Structure 1
Amino acid sequence: MADVWISRKRWTCKYCQVTINDDPPSRRHHESGMRHKTNVERALRALHRDTDAQRRADAQKQRTIQHIEQAAQRQHHRYDRSAKKAEAVAPPPPPPAPQRSAAWRPSDPMEHYTTAASLGVQEDTPVPPHAPPSHAPVPQAAHIGAWEPVAPREGPADTSVPTAAPVPEWQEEKHAARTFALVERSLDDDEEPDLVPIVTKRQRKTEALPLAHNDATTEDNKETVSVPDAPTSSLFRKRKARRPPC
């Protein structure tokens, strides 16, 4: 039995020049391969390179055309007689520049300034110079030249000497305790050193033990000396033995 040939659609990749089956699994497998990705990047770089080269070539072509046109115009002006006659004619004078009108200035400089009356502020009434200060109104604003020197009022001089308030006794004791210090006494010139009392250190009272003085050399004549026993203390007493636990 002969093999049966089944016709399927084929697809050719324009980057890799490879023909595969035109179905989603085959195309997905080919496009995910490293060969296809590398060819796509190479084609994109070549496209950008060709585009930049074409743009530079177009710019160079435009510059060349401009140079050719400028050279042709120079040659035309050199050999054209009508152009020479036009150059010989003096150019018309330039139009006069428009004169700027001077800025408007008011006749009275203070005309457009506000005053106290326009703002609703009443002017201060004049006060005699010898009026008492209690009746003098307080000015609302200061003006140039409105200040006047005023001499201070001379009142009766207070000749009373201020007396210090009595200090309480507890404050005096507190101050004396804070300022307590030992002062060493020194001899004055009019005092004699023999008349100054000498203070000696107090001696501690000790019981003198009687000593036996006897000229006899025999032991029978010697007197025995009894020394009092040292006082007993509760700290040196012997503790009682503890009973063993049951």
Structure 2
Amino acid sequence: MTDGTLSEADGLRLPPGFRVVGFQRVGSTNDEAKQLARQGAAEGTVVWALRQESGRGRRGRAWSSPEGNLYSSTILRPRRSPAETAQLSFVAALAVADMAERLLPAGSGVGCKWPNDVLVRGRKLSGILLESEPGADGAVDWLVLGVGINVRHHPDLAEYAATSLASEGAEDVPLTVALEVYAACLAHWYGLWAGGGFPAIRDAWLARAVGLGGPVTVRLAREAVRGVFADLDMDGVLLLDPEDGTGRRRIAAGDVFFGSAPASPAEG
């Protein structure tokens, strides 16, 4: 479901190779971008909508999408293995963090939370969702990088405190400016990853990592593990030193809570 094209998409100042397809309203920018990707849309095509009717985040969670925030999905064609392209969640987090730092007052406390959240003063600013499709050779044919950024509004989340750029001091930022800055930051970090792989991305992410070296609880599908967030592996896996002394664990997917407060395992 789409509703009207956006005249605001005309005249945007975007990095080379980027173009925007804008809508007043869609079901999901990721769904629109996936359809365009299957039809052969070029890398750098960005689907932007003022409102989503069925936005979603990781693990199918609903993502509140009122008008006034930035909802975009970018088509990328990295031609890498699925494991490598999963690293693009860190690329996206760095792009959002850079965008926030450019638009917010100095010293706003922007950080990255594993695996792909961006926090401002400990509160969640954005959501990131990667969806991809393999080619005949097993490499990823295309990847859609969906990003929702709270510009003017933020939801009341049950598990995490949320915030917006407006709440943190960046009031009256036009969505066109937010999109231009985000696209420029994404082009920078994606180019760095495409040219040199994950090491530089990992270093930059660790420099912004919230909770590194401190106590965390990681909620997995059927258990919650407490320990110290020790490091990030070279493939983006969280390295945890459990408090029970059972030896370092590699965690590829989970929800991180800071401190050692109990966290109930997710159903499943």
Indicate whether the TM-score tops 0.5: no
TM-score by length of 2: 0.11
TM-score by length of 1: 0.12
Bigger CA radius of gyration? 1
Q: Give the structure with the larger strand fraction.
A: 2
Q: Give the structure with the larger helix fraction.
A: 1
Q: Larger RCO: Structure 1 or Structure 2 (Cα < 8 Å, ≥ 6 residues apart)?
A: 2
